[in-house]
Chains A and B, each alone.
Chain A
Amino acid sequence: MTDREDAVVATSGLTKRFGSVVAVDDVSIEVRQGDRYGFLGPNGSGKTTTVRMLLGLVYATSGRVELFGRRMPGPARGTLSDVGALIEGPASYGHLSARTNLALMDAAGPGSSRRTRRRRIEDVLEQVGLDGVGRRPVKAFSLGMKARLGLAGALLRRPRLLVLDEPTNGLDPQGIHEVRDLLLELNRGGTTLFVSSHLLSEVESLCTRVGVLQAGRLVAQDDLAALQAPTGLVLVRTPDPDLAVSVLDGRVVRRDGDLLAVRASTAEALAGLLVQSGVRLTELRAERRTLEEVVLELTGPGSDRVARGPDR
């Protein structure tokens, strides 16, 4: 706890067994103030169980969880009123309106002012784009509207930490874009984000820091930029590929039509050499590994494949 004073979420040795199945195995997560943390992993890797342990819904078999430096679940349950959460899809009372749903949830727990309730509800509905929804019952909502309402519920108390499990489920591309912009804006305002997802593109476009879970174990946790370190290759697209190959003389590792992968220390040096030799350039950039490559390498094949293991 001493060396991670700015940790908003910190777990150490977090483990959960369901009978003989180890769902989460010795996971130590660290999310710092202001992070946009992406919690990645294939389906069934233990993401949701971990999220539920963070929020005190599932009790850990061993290990500990701290939110804002306070032990969870502990006597300071009020800690959670600083957290907004979306867990495995939104849920609401179908026969009530969006506003009534938000008001009931808000009134149910501590740390919310009755005086500002109506104002806050209107604000978050506007933020998620549901302000014109009226009094219609939630059961008449589309999947996307329910997702937006779920997010509104998470934002209602202006939490310092947002824990979002698959937040864009059910949203169309436009909605995904809007939600991403909203989350980025909240993060600029100081809200720490913890986004659990199996969608690599979502995490890649939103997060600054990534933890990768595989079969219950945290196999990587690092800044996104560090995971996507340059590969030492420069990609060159040119209308004169043959000329380029002869100039570069054996440094071309791959050739795919007019796209060459060249071993080079920096893109700048390579550009100078090629231009001097009269090679025209359409595109030139250092190759970085995509998050997909990184994660596939770490997690291996198969997401929901249930293979017969040696121990069963």
Chain B
Amino acid sequence: MIAVELSKLFRRPRTWVTVGLLCLLPTVVAVFLAVTDVAPRPGEGPAFLSAVLANGALFPAAALGIVLPLFLPVAVAVVAGDAVAGESAAGTLRYLLVRPVGRTRLLLAKLLSVVVFLVVAVTAVAATAYEVGTRLFVPVPGSPAEVVTGLSGSTLTSQQLAVRTVLVIGYITWSMLGVAAVALFLSTLTDSPLAAALGALAVLVTSQVLVTLDAASSVKQYLPTRYWLAWVDFFRDPILWHDIRLGVLVQGAYAVVFLGLAWAAFTTRDVTS
């Protein structure tokens, strides 16, 4: 069943268009930076971009930072929102269920294919960004920029950099689990993939707004987007684990709760589409 779901996912042109667009945005940013050589002032713009200008090896992390706040969650919400509701709208859900595919099994296969999509998308963004970054931003030989400097000012070896980039990929993938679970849950309730995706995005936007609101500080730490930006802590020396750990916990909690709800809703519901 999982092989069937993956095959459906990767045979869809939409999947590749989405991944392509995700890779395109950081590339556009990189081209502008390289052509104009104007770096965002410190404290403005996406994290890391000023450092990238000196050494492109940091660009994969910066690229993930660019797609993280909006593009990546939108893509995840669309794919996860489509998971069950899309089958429902196309009428193929009833044929899958009488095939028979158990409802729990189908939901697990859908979840897994969403996660695989996420990993593929995030890895593709990082890989493209590495290619683009190392080509466009070649450090001047002998200059201090030839070594990569972390946020704490200490230098990172290329091995350290690789390990930390992989950690960032993992953390950002994990950060999307909350959105994916909410979208999957909504997807089991409605026959409209659009409604499920937009519903999940509405949850995210609400969370983003509340995170910046001081009046909401009492709930802030439980919001799904609260620790999204903690990935930059991987580039401190030593790595600042505190927020990362909380981020992992919060996302895990959202994933467990909403996947539980999705399971409860899907296994007890009448399929009338």
Distance A12 CA – B170 CA, assembled complex (angstroms):
54
Is A239 interfacial (CB 8 A cutoff)? Answer: no
Distance A96 CA – B90 CA, assembled complex (angstroms):
13
**B1→A108 contact, CB < 8 A:** yes
What 0/1 readout, one digit per residue, does chain B (1-32) give for beta carbons within 8 Å of chain A? 10110011001110000000000000000000
**B92→A93 contact, CB < 8 A:** yes
Distance A81 CA – B99 CA, assembled complex (angstroms):
6
Is B218 interfacial (CB 8 A cutoff)? Answer: no
B101 contacts which chain A residues (CB < 8 A)?
108-109
Is A141 interfacial (CB 8 A cutoff)? Answer: no
Is B98 interfacial (CB 8 A cutoff)? Answer: yes
Binding-face segment, A84-92, A222-230, A275-283: A84-92
Q: In the complex, what's the smallest C-beta–C-beta distance from B271 to chain A, in angstroms? A: 4
**B100→A81 contact, CB < 8 A:** yes
Is A216 interfacial (CB 8 A cutoff)? Answer: no
Is A190 interfacial (CB 8 A cutoff)? Answer: no
| Chain B binding surface SS class | helix
A158 contacts which chain B residues (CB < 8 A)?
none
Is A77 interfacial (CB 8 A cutoff)? Answer: yes
Distance A57 CA – B95 CA, assembled complex (angstroms):
10
B4 contacts which chain A residues (CB < 8 A)?
104, 107-108
Distance A305 CA – B74 CA, assembled complex (angstroms):
45
B3 contacts which chain A residues (CB < 8 A)?
107
Distance A55 CA – B99 CA, assembled complex (angstroms):
10
**B11→A95 contact, CB < 8 A:** yes
Q: In the complex, what's the smallest C-beta–C-beta distance from A111 to chain B, in angstroms? A: 9
**A87→B98 contact, CB < 8 A:** yes
Is B96 interfacial (CB 8 A cutoff)? Answer: yes
**B100→A56 contact, CB < 8 A:** yes
B96 contacts which chain A residues (CB < 8 A)?
105, 108-109
- Residues of chain B from 83 to 122 with CB closer than 8 A to chain A in the complex: 90-92, 94-102
Query: Which of A52, A90, A109 is close to B99, meaning CB atoms less than 8 Å apart?
Result: A109
**B95→A105 contact, CB < 8 A:** yes
Give the total of B residues in contact with A, Cβ under 8 Å: 24
**B12→A85 contact, CB < 8 A:** no
Distance A306 CA – B37 CA, assembled complex (angstroms):
71
B268 contacts which chain A residues (CB < 8 A)?
59
**B102→A77 contact, CB < 8 A:** yes
Query: Which of B13, B100, B272 is close to A80, meaning CB atoms less than 8 Å apart?
Result: B100
Q: Smallest CB-CB separation from A57: which chain B residue?
A: B271
Is A94 interfacial (CB 8 A cutoff)? Answer: yes
Interface centre among A57, A80, A108 (most CB of B within 10 A): A108
Q: In the complex, what's the smallest C-beta–C-beta distance from B79 to chain A, in angstroms? A: 15
Distance A80 CA – B8 CA, assembled complex (angstroms):
23
Q: Evaluate whether A58 and B272 lie within 8 angstroms (CB atoms) in the complex, with A91-B90, A93-B92, A108-B1 already known.
A: yes
B12 contacts which chain A residues (CB < 8 A)?
95
Distance A202 CA – B7 CA, assembled complex (angstroms):
39
Q: Evaluate whether A91 and B91 lie within 8 angstroms (CB atoms) in the complex, with A56-B97, A78-B100, A107-B4 already known.
A: yes
B44 contacts which chain A residues (CB < 8 A)?
none
Distance A94 CA – B272 CA, assembled complex (angstroms):
21
Distance A81 CA – B95 CA, assembled complex (angstroms):
11
Is A110 interfacial (CB 8 A cutoff)? Answer: yes
Q: Evaluate whether A85 and B98 lie within 8 angstroms (CB atoms) in the complex, with A52-B272, A57-B270, A95-B12 already known.
A: yes
Distance A92 CA – B90 CA, assembled complex (angstroms):
7
Distance A49 CA – B271 CA, assembled complex (angstroms):
10
Q: In the complex, what's the smallest C-beta–C-beta distance from B233 to chain A, in angstroms? A: 42
Is A65 interfacial (CB 8 A cutoff)? Answer: no
B8 contacts which chain A residues (CB < 8 A)?
93, 104
Q: In the complex, what's the smallest C-beta–C-beta distance from B230 to chain A, in angstroms? A: 39
Query: Which of B7, B94, B98 is close to A83, meaning CB atoms less than 8 Å apart?
Result: B98
Q: Smallest CB-CB separation from B270: which chain A residue?
A: A58
Q: In the complex, what's the smallest C-beta–C-beta distance from B87 to chain A, in angstroms? A: 9
Distance A90 CA – B101 CA, assembled complex (angstroms):
18
Query: Which of A100, A107, A110 is close to B100, meaning CB atoms less than 8 Å apart?
Result: A110
Interface centre among B4, B97, B98 (most CB of A within 10 A): B98
A-B pairs with beta carbons under 8 Å apart, 19 shown: A52-B94, A57-B271, A57-B272, A58-B271, A58-B272, A77-B102, A78-B100, A83-B98, A87-B98, A88-B91, A91-B94, A91-B95, A100-B11, A105-B96, A107-B3, A108-B99, A109-B96, A110-B100, A153-B95
Chain B interface residues (CB < 8 Å from chain A): 1, 3-4, 7-8, 11-13, 90-92, 94-102, 268, 270-272
Rank and list the top 5 A-B pairs by shortest CB-CB distance, nearest first: A91-B91, A109-B99, A80-B100, A58-B270, A57-B271
Knowing that A83-B98, A96-B11 touch, tell me 16 more A-B residue pairs with CB under 8 angstroms.
A57-B98, A57-B271, A58-B272, A79-B100, A80-B98, A81-B100, A87-B98, A88-B91, A92-B90, A93-B8, A95-B12, A105-B99, A107-B4, A108-B4, A109-B100, A153-B95
